[in-house]
Amino acid sequence: MYVIGGGPGGLAVAQALRARGLRAVVLERADRVGASWRRHYDRLRLHTTRRLSALPGLPMPRRFGRWPARDDVVRYLEKYADHHQLEIVTGVEVSRVERAPGGAGWVLHASGGRELTGAAVVVATGHNHTPRLPDWPGRDTYTGELRHAAEYRNAAPYAGRDVLVVGVGNTGAEIAVDLVEGGASRVRLSVRTPPHIVRRSTAGWPAQYTGVLCRRLPVGLVDRLARPLSRLSVPDLSAQGLPRPATGLYTRARQGAIPVQDAGLIDAVRSGRVEVVAAVEGFEDDKVLLADGTRVAPDAVIAATGYLRGLEPLVGHLDVLAPDGTPLTRGPHTPPNAPGLYFTGYTNPISGMLRELTRDATRIATTITKTEAARVSRLPR
């Protein structure tokens, strides 16, 4: 059987299948595993703990510290693939998945004209697959510099320049702080909806642990519990343009807006080094139009405006996607109209995505062992 994508999600599933004596081949379009992590910005550290971010069957080394750095995560993924002797074919991009003639299994159309047939397929191409740049009016004729955050590595190209960061998710917040620390002359952060901000840890207790504990509690209850905690740990930034959100923390998280972990944003906003401005409405020549009617002319705009799943060309024709492009089923569940097609990594839970990928890997592999696909994919003993 095949796993599409050699990121943490795909590697974890391949390991879980192999551990159950099943052959799984990972198809990865890049030339190495962990391609997404290699592209992330330099200062990135996990905001989930080392212990709760390890994939099944191999802990992350203690020397990574509590919050592993990007390069350590990449090293870990390489080691993980080697350690478990995973079967990975790099440089192969799967463009379309189709039912095998006769209905049992799947045909994968891949680069180089390959057609691969598998009894089951796990799609693990990533939640953050395709950078999303809103279709702002005037965007195409804007004469200034506009880049998606996916292209951002560090502040060096922005030293001494006036930069507008659009979007205050974890990425936008962290890039804004990085720019300030890296010598940008002015940093503005364009915010449509004020985010929930949480400390990465409080008195040694990581926010992720709270996320794990609260995950199964009723949304309204978590919203109510989070409100006083937030007042205690995060100062009021209303005067600086970041009022406390009206909608509860867990409600927002369930809508896809996970809280922003403070990596210096609170101090930077409080001290005025990051200026909060209104949402971007469009562009006009070299100007950016903001929702409050002002026009600004930064030297560069960095759009931290999220990603699309990009699953439509791959599986859109199989009627397995919701209108927002996310799979209708996940983890061990396969769509009734597409048995044997599994998806992992298309949610963003408050308990941490890597932890979720690990749990899903085990569940998917356990489910597959009970299917016909397992019978034809058994590894020789």
Check binding of 257 to ligand FAD (CB under 6 A): no
Give the one residue of 17, 24, 43, 48 binding ligand FAD; rule: CB under 6 A: 48
Identify which range of 1-9, 81-89, 134-142, 231-239 contacts ligand FAD by CB under 6 A.
1-9
- Six-digit token string for 13: 């599933």
9 lies in the binding site for ligand FAD (CB under 6 A): yes
With H, G, I as helix, E, B as strand and everything else as coil, classify residue 36: helix
Q: Which stretch binds ligand FAD (CB under 6 A): 4-12, 158-166, 221-229, 246-254?
A: 4-12
Identity (one letter) of the amino acid at 102?
A: G
- Burial tier of 344 (Cβ tally within 10 Å: 0-12, 13-18, 19+): buried
For ligand FAD (CB under 6 A), the number of binding residues is 35
- Separation between Cα atoms, residue 209 and residue 198, nearest integer Å: 12
Among 42, 71, 87, 93, binds ligand FAD (CB under 6 A): 93
| 50-89: contacts with ligand FAD (CB under 6 A) | 53
Are 154 and 42 in contact, with CB atoms under 8 Å apart? Answer: yes
Select 94 or 121, whichever has its Cβ closest to ligand FAD. Answer: 94
Cβ nearer to ligand FAD, comparing 123 with 290: 123
At closest approach, how far in Å is the CB of 41 from ligand FAD?
7
- Pick from 263, 207, 265, 258: nearest CA to 241: 265
Closest CB 342 distance from ligand FAD, rounded Å:
13
26 sits near ligand FAD (criterion: CB under 6 A): no
Number of neighbours of residue 136 by Cβ within 10 angstroms? 19
Single out the residue of 71, 55, 86 nearest to residue 63, CA to CA: 71
- Rounded to 10°, the helix 8-19/70-83 angle is 20
Q: Determine which residue in the list 353, 364, 365, 374 makes contact with ligand FAD, applying CB under 6 A.
A: 353
In the complex with ligand FAD, the residue whose CB is nearer, 71 or 162, is 71
For ligand FAD, the closer of residues 7 and 289 by Cβ is 7
In the structure encoding, which two tokens stand for residue 174, read together?
């962290």
Q: How far is the CB of 116 from ligand FAD (least distance, A)?
A: 11
The stretch near ligand FAD (CB under 6 A) out of 32-40, 210-218, 316-324, 360-368 is 32-40
Task: Give the HSE-up count for residue 124: Cα atoms under 13 Å, Cβ half-sphere.
Answer: 33
Assigned token pair, 29 = 């379009």
CA distances from 339 to 3, 91, 122 (A): 15, 27, 11
CA distance 208 to 25: 32
Q: Hey, is 363 helix, strand or coil?
A: helix
Within 282-321, which residues bind ligand FAD (CB under 6 A)? 314
Q: Nearest residue by C-beta to ligand FAD?
A: 7
CB nearer to ligand FAD: pick between 6 and 194: 6
Determine the straight-line distance between the first and last CA of the chain, rounded to whole angstroms: 17
Give the contact letters, 198-237, x = binds to ligand FAD (CB under 6 A), - = no: ----------------------------------------
- In the three-class reduction of DSSP (H, G, I as helix; E, B as strand; rest coil), residue 344 is classed as coil
Q: Which stretch binds ligand FAD (CB under 6 A): 123-131, 183-191, 265-273, 279-287?
A: 123-131
Beta bridge pairs of residue 261: 198
Nearest distance from C-beta of residue 40 to ligand FAD, angstroms: 5
| Candidate list 172, 248, 259, 352; residue touching ligand FAD; CB under 6 A | 352
Largest CA distance in the chain: 69
Give CA–CA dist 118/116, Å, rounded.
7
CA distance 320 to 284: 40
Of these, 15, 128, 305, 334, which contacts ligand FAD (CB under 6 A)?
A: 128
CB of 181 or CB of 281, closer to ligand FAD: 181
**By the criterion CB under 6 A, which residues form the site for ligand FAD?**
4-10, 27-30, 35-37, 40, 44, 46-48, 53, 93-94, 124-129, 171, 314, 345, 352-354, 357
